[in-house]
């Protein structure tokens, strides 16, 4: 996910879905963003990450910090510095935490891969994911799996074997998988990935849907997100009947999408209300770094899908408020 340099990155404004329309205050316990929260993505390498501080100061309680990527059998942040030794990202996480905002650590993205896709040593993969938990003192990990990675069955098997070990070793750990989606539901590869988790003995806590960039022409992006969520629930229940709306996440790209479609503030408000009524487990968006008008920042090469602004008329953090 992301835009510009990291196409289709997410920022998940963490707030309890049950408080939709009531501001950006959430209800989850510190250091754990479980189901039932809003957790917008934040591109931790983006020049507008200061918007995270503003959101935290306004009451944001959770967010999704993106992206950790695999580099061989090591893990680095998107700006190439190692996990636990990146003064910029680590400092931003510490500052947000001091203001009451807890991170979900997200690995992968459109331009990177989680560790299980770049390393074949199972013990190293487990240790790497465990290091994310220990270094940042979190109880929730997200894995954004896109492109060819979603069809890489060997990596997927390594990944869910590692997740099963992590869940055994870390009671209460919440794991989400962020996947591309169409209004008609997950792609065949996405369904196969969820089935692989089931075969490995893992029930994914949150299947987080990238309700964006459908490349299907102009449409109501709010209704499309709701349709995608309904359709995906049917697919998940075909694998495991215990899946419910609480195991689903909705993550639009706010404002102008890469395909030229527009997710408006009215879409955000309607999706938040719908999600609260259904009991959707997580409400997110890509990204907090974009949650301002383009008049607030310097123009970019591709302003229609800027990485630093939404491309629509808004006040700073309007989408954070609407999707909370």
CA distance 324 to 246: 16
Which among 257, 251, 256 has a CA at the least distance from the CA of 293? 256
Which among 321, 322, 323 has a CA at the least distance from the CA of 54? 321
Q: Are 122 and 161 in contact (CB under 8 A)?
A: yes
The first and second tokens of residue 2, run together, are 């992301």
- The helix/strand/coil state of 138 is coil
Helices assigned H by DSSP within 242-317? 265-278
- The values of phi and psi at residue 188, to 5°, are -60, -40
Pairing of strands 74-77, 62-71: antiparallel
Q: Are 75 and 48 in contact (CB under 8 A)?
A: no
CA distance 15 to 156: 30
Cα angle, residue 187 at apex, residues 184 and 188 outer, rounded to 5°: 125
Given the residues 92, 102, 146, 226, the one annotated as active site: 146
List all residues 6 or more positions away from 322 whose beta carbon is below 8 Å from its beta carbon.
265, 268, 269, 272
* Catalytic annotation present for 92: no
Distance of CA 140 to the CA centre of its chain: 11
CA distance 165 to 224: 36
| Per-position b or e across 202-232, b if 16+ CB within 10 A of its CB | bebbbbbbbbbbbeeeeebbbebbbbbbebb
**Rg of the chain in Å (alpha carbons):** 17
Residues forming the active site: 146
């Amino acid at each position: 996910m992301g835009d510009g340099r990291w196409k289709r990155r997410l920022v998940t404004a963490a707030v309890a879905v049950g408080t939709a329309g009531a501001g950006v205050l959430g209800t989850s316990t510190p250091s754990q963003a479980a189901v039932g929260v809003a957790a917008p993505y934040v591109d931790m390498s983006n020049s507008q990450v200061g918007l995270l501080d503003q959101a935290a100061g306004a009451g944001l309680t959770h967010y999704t910090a993106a992206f950790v990527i695999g580099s061989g059998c090591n893990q680095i942040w998107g700006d190439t510095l190692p996990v636990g030794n990146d003064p910029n990202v680590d400092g931003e996480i510490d500052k947000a935490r001091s203001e009451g905002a807890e991170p979900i650590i997200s690995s992968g993205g459109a331009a990177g891969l989680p560790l299980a896709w770049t390393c074949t040593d199972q013990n190293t993969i487990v240790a790497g994911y465990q290091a994310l938990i220990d270094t940042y003192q979190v109880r929730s990990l997200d894995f954004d799996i896109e492109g060819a990675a979603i069809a890489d069955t060997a990596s997927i098997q390594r990944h869910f074997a590692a997740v099963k070990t992590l869940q055994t070793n870390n009671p209460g750990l919440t794991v989400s998988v962020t996947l591309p989606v169409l209004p008609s539901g997950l792609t065949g590869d996405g369904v196969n990935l969820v089935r692989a988790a089931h075969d490995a003995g893992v029930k994914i806590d949150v299947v987080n849907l990238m309700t964006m960039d459908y490349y299907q022409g102009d449409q109501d992006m709010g209704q499309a997100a709701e349709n995608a969520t309904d359709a995906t629930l049917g697919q998940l229940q075909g694998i495991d009947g215990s899946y419910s709306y609480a195991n689903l996440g909705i993550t639009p790209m706010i404002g102008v999408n890469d395909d030229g479609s527009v997710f408006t503030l009215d879409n955000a408000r309607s999706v938040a209300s719908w999600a609260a009524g259904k009991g959707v487990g997580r409400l997110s968006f890509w990204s907090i770094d974009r949650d301002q008008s383009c008049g607030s920042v310097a123009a970019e090469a591709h302003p229609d899908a800027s990485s630093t602004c939404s491309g629509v008329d808004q006040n700073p953090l309007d989408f954070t408020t609407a999707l909370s």
